[in-house]
Amino acid sequence: MRMLPPGSTIGILGGGQLGRMLAIAAAQLGYRTHVLAPESESVAAQTASSFTRADYHSRIVLDELAASCDVVTYEFENIALDPVEYLAGKVAVHPAPVALGIAQDRANEKQFVNDLGGRTAPWRKVTTRAELDEALAAIGTPAILKTLRLGYDGKGQVRLTSADEADAAWDAIGGRPAVLEGHVAFEHEFSIILARGIDGTMTSYPPPKNEHVDGILARSTLPAPAPVAAQWTEAAALAGRIADKLGYVGVLACEFFVGAEGPVFNEMAPRVHNSGHWTIEGAVTSQFENHVRAICGLPLGDTALTAPKVEMENLIGEAANRWAEILTEPGAHLHLYGKRAVRAGRKMGHVTRIAPIIS
Ligand code: AMP
């Protein structure tokens, strides 16, 4: 494909903070952005060139978007597949809907990764209460029951410490199709954020160590400790095989546990990712810019660190009220997402701290 020249328009499905930061990166390179999202207060719309407030299923709206954009991307993976496939018949859509289809179903995703030689937690697909018993017998406890679809940030997940908790766990996820996963006794969690261009060129960032609180990312730190560094090459190679197999174009995030025998793949997101927000100031080219570069057919940018130490802290709920104090910290870069209402567990912003100020 030819390079889309600056001045072209990028359609973004989804109106949250990832779309917001994509639109900022696109604007920096001279592109226009058109956000399509159903919510009245889209924080991506605040930074985009234009905004259509509509749900994703109107063919009229999708036709208009396809006609007004040179390429379309998406900023969240729980968008229905159908409108994305429809758009792909009319305009270039990156990443291709096939990646979305796999990432939206935990069983498909794990099977796909196992088929590529990737290590996952032991898992079984569970569609009935009886299958949960069979899966518990096969996998044992502790284990985690996760809904097949629409889970993120630890939502739609129940931990089981004994098979006696099967009824309660099944009720807790509403008896929906799920996977049962064995609990991985991991030392650390990390992610591989890679970008793959239209010509198949790939690059990836040094992996951050990620710490979660209540299932939500709290902090990413670089450089990651030695146990993560030791598993980096194997994890990055697997992420590369995933991207190649999918003919992927754009930024892909793969989350891993540091397992006793090597990296254990947890899940992937076919989009820019919270554990890559540090790249805005902490890498030569941000994940957002590299996503824009990839989907527009441009050469990918350098992923090297800009400082010996980088840390990203998510500002969740009330934590964002510390904004004035954060601004007084040398080396701290504050990002607020423009969300009006502070709610517990809501990602309101993040702060990236660049060495040498981290003691
Ligand atoms: P997920 O939504 O799958 O990313 O899960 C959210 C968080 O729950 C992960 O980042 C881990 O901290 C934890 N977790 C998920 N699956 C497992 C597992 N199989 N073993 C241990 N911890 C897990």
Cβ contact 223:70 at 8 Å: no
Tell me the average pLDDT of the chain: 95
pLDDT at 1 over 70: no
* Residues spanned by the domain of 40: 9-93
CA separation for the pair 144, 266 (Å, rounded): 12
Do the domain assignments include residue 133? yes
Stretch 128-138: mean pLDDT, rounded?
96
Q: Does residue 109 lie in a domain region? A: no
Distance 143 CA to ligand 1 centre (A): 10
Asked if 257 and 330 sit in the same domain, the reply is yes
103 CB within 6 A, ligand 1: no
Q: Has residue 359 got a pLDDT over 60?
A: no
Placement of tokens 């754009």 in the chain = 250
Q: Is the CB of 223 under 6 A from ligand 1?
A: no
Shared-domain flag, residues 206 and 322: yes
CB 109 near ligand 1, within 6 Å: no
Domain assignment present for 306:
yes
pLDDT at 154 (0 to 100): 62
Q: Do residues 157 and 280 both lie within one domain? A: no
Q: Answer whether residue 111 is part of any domain.
A: no
Q: Residue 80 maps to which CATH number?
A: 3.40.50.20
Say if residue 221 is in the same domain as residue 302.
yes
156 lines ligand 1 (CB under 6 A): no
Contact (Cβ atoms closer than 8 angstroms) between residue 72 and residue 98: no
Measure 42 CA to ligand 1 centroid, in angstroms: 29
Pair 206, 173 in one domain? no
Is the beta carbon of 179 within 6 A of some atom in ligand 1?
no
Q: Where a domain ends, among 182, 202, 234? A: 182
**Are 170 and 214 in the same domain?**
no
Q: What is the pLDDT of residue 36?
A: 98
**Same domain as 213, residue 280:** yes
CATH for 152: 3.30.1490.20
- Reply yes or no on whether the pLDDT at 96 is more than 90: yes
**Are 246 and 322 within one domain?**
yes
CB 100 within 8 A of CB 81: yes
- Whether 178 and 197 map to the same domain: the answer is no
Query: Is residue 12 predicted with pLDDT exceeding 80?
Result: yes
In a domain, 110, yes or no: no
pLDDT reported for residue 356: 64
Provide the pLDDT for residue 177: 95
SS3 for 85-119 is: HHHHCCCEECCCHHHHHHHCCHHHHHHHHHHCCCC
Residue (of 47, 52, 53) closest to 26 by Cα position: 47
Indicate whether 348 and 230 sit together in one domain: yes
CATH of the domain at 273: 3.30.470.20
What is the number of domains present in the chain? 3
Residue 284 is assigned to a structural domain of this protein: yes
Residue 194 reports pLDDT greater than 70 = yes
Q: Is the pLDDT of residue 257 over 70?
A: yes
* Judgement on whether residues 207 and 314 belong to the same structural domain of the protein: yes
* Stretch 40-55: mean pLDDT: 97
Same domain, yes or no, for 56 and 172? Answer: no
Higher-scoring residue by pLDDT: 103, 359: 103
| 212 touches ligand 1 (CB under 6 Å) | yes
Question: Is the per-residue pLDDT at 133 higher than 70?
Answer: yes
pTM, to two decimals:
0.96
Candidate from 266, 273, 275 with most ligand 1 atoms within 8 A of CB, to mutate: 266
